[in-house]
Chain A
């Protein structure tokens, strides 16, 4: 009896909880801290650090804040947020596209910081020493890349150097100098610790190499040198650029158009580093749209079906498919008509000597659809001899967009509403005179306003499976972040600023021009642009040359920014493609507005003021 009592009392009291019973057992997901210290976890984290780049390179948001609104590009008819380029008060902190970038960059930087945190600790890194160094160099490069995009877009915002492991409701503003100090420090580490191998391997193409790090450091040093007018820094930039050129791993194409031939995708000899896009259904999902719903107005969600792949082929397209005799097909692409070139950009090319005009722009479309009976000769008395025959048949030139100007009497405006027809030559035609207004702004008159223009053809992708459906919006073209030609230009500019103008001219500008001119005589081509030697070099020349070489490659905003605020404002006021931008652009707009979602969520709003005047 007594024994039984004691037994039960002990049973009752003895059932003390072991804390183990209350531990969480997370099988359906992974807890961050433990996952990162495994090989798969860390490789996944590093991959995620790369993924952030897919939000900018070859993507609409990335183009939005790097090309249009400058001296070389303006908005196209189908751009849903044209106020970003007319610089009115509508361009404000609620901008839904900036918030996507802001959120993704900070996520990416935090992922980099997480990776750096683990890889820097020899006790927890899952890799051996060599691989630890390589991966650490990669993520430090990526952190530098994202910090550069942050600081140049928004100025001295929150500089995060440690992973966030708890709830943080505060943010502080750091100086632009602090940003560049960290960017250069990260790149120094990467350049010092990455191997010298080429980036063409079956398994590692797409990863950061020493050349990519050094090339990017060249770009950063040049940027920093421009801000501070620091001759030594200019020289250092040139030194980095020269080292990349001299590595012998990269070659300029003889024909500029080959740079953009999709057949050269992934084996492009000019590419120093490219974002690797593929047709894999999974890889297309860069970042799911659901991530943005919180910050975006539902009516304006540009990421529905376009999360992955290269989208440059959509953005710069011209509305060819509405012309009689034309229909949309894979070869000609799907024209989103987001961006249209400015007069300044078109004028910069001497297309008779420079391969880069026709290598960059598409000027001719060939008839791919039967015309209705309405479109027969003669037209306004032209070509009576062809009476009754169709204006053109499949395969004939259908549309021609040109820097030429044709006499008014041959340009017929009433054949099909709003499309000019060159009755003498028998094409639909937009000529130079009708392309721009007298003041140099883009001619918006008529219903074709900003639908028709010279199409930047650098990103075309005729490997897409269908002309129109949603899945086919994702191009497989790798987005080149740096090309070897940029190194020639950095070396040249750096040397010129460091007092070695002749060296710049002879060893960098002429060799580049040799490859870019039809004749192979680079000196002659340079002469046509007014450069006969180092003494003729000016900043305007470099800006012209960079426009010719790099237009559409997401660098223009940054090139203007490093001129300094006043010069940038002056240049946009002079060359912008719309009058409103010329009237309104001011120092305020050299920094983008910080998203309201950021400001609203801060506990202490005083520590993180909005950029001036927004």
Chain B
């Protein structure tokens, strides 16, 4: 497989370098002429432009487009064959005249260029913690969303899919959470520009993704750097290449991962018998209560009982399967002066939950051209339209004795009078309930670059990023349901532009390498909102398209709290990188950000980092197995730009206070101060230190890195209540503090590398801890928000269930106002009363550690890979337990509940006197260990031999099958629950998917 040269600048340097080599005069003495080809070990493709150097000399050559070279060298010479991104080979000529060389890709990728924000850098020159995924890593995952590919592939990134809804996003934390009131999501930068949080880019369009993790790397983004940066670089055409047409597609068949233990008819009937005798001790002497079951049933249940009904409501609310389809077509190429790349994509995810789907259409183009020697200009556009239709999640509250349809096949409004819920199948029908979010986005950039002197360039780029979102919601009336049709339409328009100017100077002088970057950036953002809502529509089919047809009394048009929000930012950015002999490296960055939201507009964010490539030192040279050892140390300060617009202005009421004057009662709209002029707030800030070690053994056959970091976040914004005598309720202040630390390990290994068989493995491991160290008012706990000093930012705080009161504990149980069969809670204060003070922190949804293992094997034309992801130590809130209704009114989910004859400690007794809403300790059943190990992906692929595909005018043709998200291990899942990754919800189970796909290149 041909390695793409992603960055033309490096490409240029490289070409110049090889040119220089060619110009060197050959010293011919005792020579043999050697010819051969250089090929890629993974697929046997030729490597054009590979270097062949005679050891100890400056003589060499490069391979041509077919990977062929010829060179004259002494018969006893040693040839060094190298190619960027591949491990170099040293070969003894030993009189041979034909030497074919197979190069193995270098997993440490030290020569690779990585994007670091306002510039690029060779990976070997990095001084901060930057992780990178290249095209091959990205396209190997069949992901609906570009972000998804980061999961488990980059140590320090903790990601979970929110739920199983179509198009559902990922929650992503880089190095844990640090703010407890502002967002902890990273900043996404696409081709140098802030993209927003909705990353709807197809992975096929991506050339590389970089994650900047430590403060010394992210400080270049200043007030927006604290949560880490995800840099996405899209594909461009290749210089001097014929048009390359690629088409790829796949079809995925999805079903839920996991199945809940729905109780059947017999289980439900037994539960009713047990509930009947709950408070009648004598009845438990026999195995069965002697009461006729008919007397315990509601009319609809009785009918079902007589008919032998055993209806599975959960199945009824799901379709047989869902699907994902992706179609991607791209054409790219270039002349010596101009490169281009155009792609179109269509993606559809259709959930197995009815009326839950996501569709995306996108168009992307890049064009770059040189104008003479001095100038370059270019343009890239990304236009997308996506539509997200939100279905209604599964409702587990129905019992198996009742059915959703009446004898004529119509949906029954309220199927069961025991628990009069409306029939969920009505709400799953788009005729009666619908929700659609459509977004049109235009992301368009133009740049011009002038190369003033060798190494000195100036680039000015302007980007316009527009998106228009329309959210329609509709709920219709239905015969027998006491509700009016309701529709709402919410329009949100975002207008943003960014202007970036970058001046770069790159100079090497003897052993000194200096890269200086200075940049300015100007950002403008405007959001406008409009919201309309109506009820009792003239015609249900109008949905949200004719809200005015509704009853005028219910019509409301609101602009939201802030219908018009404008923010602006001006930044000055500088970076100085210095390297001595490629061994001693240092980087200093600084960013000065001015933002409209702040009273004191300007703030400065500096960082410094150094690195020492120990393996380059002479004293290390003879440690044979060690090929790389590099130490990195960085420290920096970053911000979290969490202050909203207008918060520092004293504001008057946005709702009106009316007073009427005169006999005519003329309304005067009154308004008074609701917000105070505040000199605060500032950005939330983090200072963080990072220690990194990069290592490689056996010519980097085994390579990796280890990162250790510590973060201190302060000035966290908190709403502080003011004394009412101050007339204003609250004010935002920079008060809270958190700290965090962690460790990350990345390991890459090429286990086997022969021309026929290749096997490589990547492992990531990360562990992070976080804790709150200070809260507003100096308190140690803020129960209302669930914040506790010394605990992680998100915790579960509740009573702790320690079992079920057993029959022989009746005396103590009574003391606590409980009966045998009730939940036994830990009396933390130990005062024989369970009250609010007995609540404790039970756990956190953040994992203790996460890990990923990715392994790829290639044998001839067959490739096989699998990816395992583990997330361990987190607590989830089990949605199934949230439905447990002790009076059996809702949900017949099978549970091992307590009876005098079944003294379990698992679930309490069924109890006719206890409704779910009136049962506060019910929540204690919910907290569970959500640790899991998942096989996220198994792929088997076959590439047609070039000899066959070329006959069909194809450059390559590959077909594959994959199983995605197919296997899950862990206590929670084993208990009969859905995928725990989403946190234990039950409405939208995560899908597992079987995929068939093909990639063709012409």
Residues of chain A touching chain B, judged by Cβ–Cβ distance below 8 Å, are: 1, 4-5, 8-9, 11-12, 15, 17, 19, 21-33, 35, 41, 43-51, 54, 99, 102-103, 106-107, 109-111, 114, 157-158, 160, 163-171, 200-207, 266-267, 276-278, 280, 282-283, 285-288, 291, 294-295, 595, 597-598, 600-602, 608
Contacts and interface: CB of A to CB of B under 8 A. Distances in A.
A202 B657 CA distance: 21
Given A28-B563, A597-B721, A294 B729 contact: yes
Interface stretch (B357-365, B536-544, B590-598): B590-598
A267 B663 CA distance: 8
Contacts of B565: 28
A47 B564 contact: no
Given A32-B651, A166-B678, A205 B663 contact: yes
Nearest to B460: A11
Contacts of B666: 203
Contacts of A5: 452
Contact of B503 (A12, A277, A287, A598): A12
Interface of B: 374, 450, 452, 458, 460, 501, 503, 518, 520, 522, 559, 562-566, 568-570, 594-597, 601, 645-646, 648-673, 675-680, 720-731, 733
A202 B670 contact: no
A294 B658 contact: no
Given A168-B726, A598-B725, A33 B658 contact: no
Contacts of B727: 106-107, 109-111, 164
Given A21-B570, A282-B658, A11 B501 contact: yes
A276 B374 contact: no
Nearest to A110: B727
A160 B723 CA distance: 13
A305 to B, nearest CB: 16
17 contacts: A12-B520, A19-B601, A26-B651, A31-B652, A43-B668, A44-B670, A47-B668, A47-B669, A48-B670, A166-B678, A203-B666, A205-B661, A277-B660, A280-B660, A280-B665, A286-B658, A598-B725
B650 A32 contact: yes
A114 B656 contact: no
A203 B648 CA distance: 37
A1 B634 CA distance: 40
Given A22-B596, A28-B563, A166 B679 contact: yes
Given A26-B649, A51-B659, A166-B676, 14 more contacts: A8-B458, A19-B601, A21-B570, A24-B645, A32-B673, A46-B668, A110-B726, A111-B673, A167-B731, A171-B725, A204-B662, A283-B658, A291-B729, A294-B721
Contact of A48 (B671, B676, B720): B671
Contacts of B668: 43-44, 46-47
A31 B650 CA distance: 6
Contacts of B595: 22
Given A50-B670, A205-B663, A595 B724 contact: yes
A398 B638 CA distance: 79
A286 B722 CA distance: 23
A48 B657 contact: yes
A394 to B, nearest CB: 33
A283 B597 contact: no
Pick the most buried of B670, B675, B720: most chain A CB atoms within 10 A of its CB.
B670
A600 B721 contact: yes
A207 B594 CA distance: 48
Contact of A202 (B646, B658, B663): B663
Contacts of A41: 671
B650 A165 contact: yes
Contacts of A49: 670, 672
A171 B563 CA distance: 36
Given A24-B596, A166-B677, A278-B665, A51 B670 contact: yes
A31 B651 contact: yes
Contacts of B501: 11-12, 15
A310 B515 CA distance: 75
Contacts of A166: 676-679
A106 B725 contact: yes
A23 to B, nearest CB: 7
Nearest to B675: A32
Given A21-B522, A21-B568, A276 B660 contact: yes
Pick the most buried of B595, B656, B673, B733: most chain A CB atoms within 10 A of its CB.
B673
A354 to B, nearest CB: 32
Nearest to B651: A29
Contacts of B663: 200-202, 205, 266-267
Given A24-B649, A164-B728, A203-B664, A33 B677 contact: yes
Nearest to B732: A167
Contacts of B661: 47, 203-207, 276
A361 to B, nearest CB: 30
Q: Nearest 8 CB-CB pairs, A to B?
A: A110-B727, A47-B670, A48-B670, A17-B570, A47-B668, A203-B662, A47-B659, A28-B564
A602 B680 CA distance: 19
A593 to B, nearest CB: 14
A213 B723 CA distance: 31
A160 B658 contact: no
Nearest to A112: B672
Pick the most buried of A23, A27, A294: most chain B CB atoms within 10 A of its CB.
A27
A194 B450 CA distance: 74
B562 A107 contact: no
A201 B501 CA distance: 66
B450 to A, nearest CB: 6
B659 A48 contact: yes
B341 to A, nearest CB: 28
A374 to B, nearest CB: 32
Contacts of A29: 562, 646, 651-652, 654
Pick the most buried of A30, A43, A47: most chain B CB atoms within 10 A of its CB.
A47
A15 B654 contact: no
Given A206-B660, A598-B725, A601-B722, A30 B671 contact: yes
Contacts of A9: 458, 503
Nearest to B662: A203
A206 B646 contact: no
Nearest to A53: B659
Contact of B652 (A30, A169, A202): A30
B971 to A, nearest CB: 36
A589 B389 CA distance: 60
Given A22-B594, A99-B724, A109-B727, A202 B662 contact: yes
Contact of B671 (A45, A157, A163, A167): A45
Contact of B722 (A11, A51, A158, A169): A169
Nearest to A285: B658
A206 B725 contact: no
B458 to A, nearest CB: 5
B671 A169 contact: no
A26 to B, nearest CB: 5
A205 B668 CA distance: 13
Contacts of B724: 99, 102-103, 106-107, 295, 595, 597-598, 601
Contacts of B597: 24
A106 B666 CA distance: 26
Given A12-B501, A99-B724, A30 B651 contact: yes
Contacts of A295: 724
B673 A110 contact: yes
B482 to A, nearest CB: 16
Contact of A164 (B452, B657, B726): B726
B650 to A, nearest CB: 4
A561 to B, nearest CB: 22
A287 B670 CA distance: 11
Contacts of A19: 601
Contacts of B676: 164-167
Given A19-B601, A29-B652, A47-B658, A169 B669 contact: no
A48 B723 contact: no
A110 B723 contact: no
Contact of B667 (A1, A35, A54, A282): A282
